[in-house]
């Protein structure tokens, strides 16, 4: 029972990330009918940017996230204006091709600016909560809470504000929305800035929980679309349910371990991550080394102490 609960909690963090990605994709799809493939790469860009601000500029994490969000908003607006707007009235295949090209461009930019090294956004959240036998690393808990907060904010925005209702109206019937007085030229800008901001948040979460590396964004966007198909294209509640279902409980073996970590281990007193028993990335097994600590970061091959033969 405890294990199942633990799995669900573990799954909720990554599920929350999926939901955020899927929310961005679903709003864009609902409004413009575009499969915005570049979303995952843009989201990784946000993660990279946050890492860059924290590590290179030494900004506090929150400040770094806020700046990354602002850059994300602008990037979203630029993507809409420069990439998608010119093909809005054209055949859908054009937008499809633009989306694919954009993915390559953003991936290329990420590589150019941030290099090919895998990076992890350093955080100070090293505490581990233990509630009735279930272990929740602080970082994971904050991720779940932040995702929940963003999902709630998005729902309230769409359901309760005039702009949110206009977004829905354009998605359901564009011409009728014009007749209500909705400016259908500004709505896509709003949608893209919101969706990109959600993507940046997801990127930061992935970067803090796991790692950002080239190619991860593409995997994430595929996941996002899987979630969307599960929950229904264009549907916000569907995206939430789909993301949580897909998040982890269904596939325990593939749930990556959480907790804070840095490639150089500097943040780690005694070099031990206090993350309690966790899943090992390589073998997928649950291992506890005792002493309340477990070191698993097979990705970097730096903490082979988990004893896993696959490292």
Partner 1 sequence: MLTVSDLRVSYGQIEVIHGVSIEVQEGECVALIGANGAGKSSTLKAICGLVTATSGTITFEGQDITNQSGHNIVRAGITMCPEGRQVFPQMTTLQNLRMGAYARRDDEQAIDLEEMMNMFPILRERKHQAAGTLSGGEQEMLAIARALMARPRLCIFDEPSLGLAPKIVAEVGATIKRIKKMGKTILLVEQNSLMALRLADRAYLFEAGEIVLSGTGEELQSHPEVVKAYLGH
Which residues lie near partner 1 (CB under 8 A)?
A: 162, 165-166, 168-169, 172-173, 175-185
The residue among 28 and 211 lying less far from partner 1, judged by its C-beta, is 28
Least distance in Å: CB of 159 to partner 1?
8
168 vs 287, which CB is nearer to partner 1?
A: 168
Give the tokens for residue 302. 């730096």
From residue 308, give the alpha-carbon distance in Å to each of 209, 284, 304: 21, 10, 7
Distance CA(58)–CA(43), nearest Å, equals: 21
SS3 84: helix
Output the smallest distance, CB 100 to partner 1, in A: 30
Q: Which is closer to partner 1, CB of 87 or CB of 166?
A: 166
Question: Six-digit token pair at 303?
Answer: 């903490």
Give CA–CA dist 220/41, Å, rounded. Answer: 8
* Between 117 and 159, CB nearer to partner 1: 159
Between the CA of residue 66 and those of 62, 70, 160, 183, what are the distances in Å? 6, 6, 25, 28
Q: Which is nearer to partner 1, 161 or 254 (CB)?
A: 161
Phi and psi for 130 in degrees, rounded to 5? -120, 115
d(CA 231, CA 208): 27
Over 215-242, what HEC string results? CHHHHHHHHHHHHHHHHCCCCHHHHHHH
**Shortest distance, position 32 Cβ to partner 1, whole Å:** 17
Smaller CB separation from partner 1, 186 or 254 = 186
CB 278 within 8 A of CB 301: no
Q: Rounded to the nearest whole angstrom, what is the least distance from the CB of residue 169 to partner 1 in the complex?
A: 5
Q: Where are the alpha helices (DSSP H) in the chain?
A: 2-32, 39-55, 61-78, 92-114, 138-160, 162-172, 174-179, 187-209, 216-231, 236-247
Report the distance separating Cα 28 and Cα 262, nearest Å: 34
* Identity of the residue, 128 or 166, whose beta carbon is nearer to partner 1 in the bound complex: 166
**Dist CA 298 CA 306 (whole Å):** 9
- Residue 164 CB, nearest approach to partner 1 (Å): 10
Of the pair 81, 131, the CB lying nearest partner 1 is at 81
Output the smallest distance, CB 236 to partner 1, in A. 11
For the bound state, the minimum distance from the C-beta of residue 171 to partner 1, rounded and expressed in Å, comes to: 9
Closest approach, Cβ 15 to partner 1, in A, equals 25
């Amino acid at each position: 029972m405890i294990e199942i609960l633990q799995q669900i909690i573990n799954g909720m963090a990554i599920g929350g990330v999926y939901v955020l990605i899927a929310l961005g994709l679903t709003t864009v799809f609902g409004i413009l009918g575009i499969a915005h493939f570049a979303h995952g790469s843009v989201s990784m860009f946000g993660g990279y940017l946050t890492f860059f601000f924290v590590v290179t500029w030494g900004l506090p994490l929150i400040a770094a996230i806020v700046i990354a969000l602002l850059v994300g908003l602008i990037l979203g607006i630029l993507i809409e204006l420069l990439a998608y707007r010119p093909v809005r009235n054209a055949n859908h295949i054009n937008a499809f091709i633009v989306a694919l090209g954009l993915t390559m461009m953003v991936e290329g930019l990420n590589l150019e600016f941030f290099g090919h090294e895998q990076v992890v956004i350093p955080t100070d959240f090293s505490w581990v909560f233990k509630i009735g036998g279930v272990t929740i690393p602080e970082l994971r808990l904050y991720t779940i809470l932040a995702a929940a907060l963003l999902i709630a904010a998005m729902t309230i925005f769409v359901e309760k504000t005039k702009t949110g209702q206009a977004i829905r109206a354009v998605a359901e019937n564009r011409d009728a929305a014009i007749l209500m007085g909705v400016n259908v030229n500004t709505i896509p800008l709003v949608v893209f800035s919101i969706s990109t901001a959600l993507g940046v948040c997801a990127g930061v979460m992935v970067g803090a929980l796991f790692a950002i590396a080239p190619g991860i964004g593409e995997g994430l966007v595929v996941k996002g679309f899987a979630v969307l198909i599960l929950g229904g294209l264009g549907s916000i509640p569907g995206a939430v349910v789909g993301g949580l279902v897909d998040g982890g409980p269904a596939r325990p073996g593939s749930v990556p371990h959480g907790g804070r970590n840095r490639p150089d281990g500097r943040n780690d007193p005694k070099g031990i991550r206090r993350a309690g028993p966790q899943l090992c990335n390589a073998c997928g097994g649950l291992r506890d080394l005792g002493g309340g600590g477990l070191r698993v970061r097979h990705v970097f091959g730096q903490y082979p102490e988990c004893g896993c033969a696959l490292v």
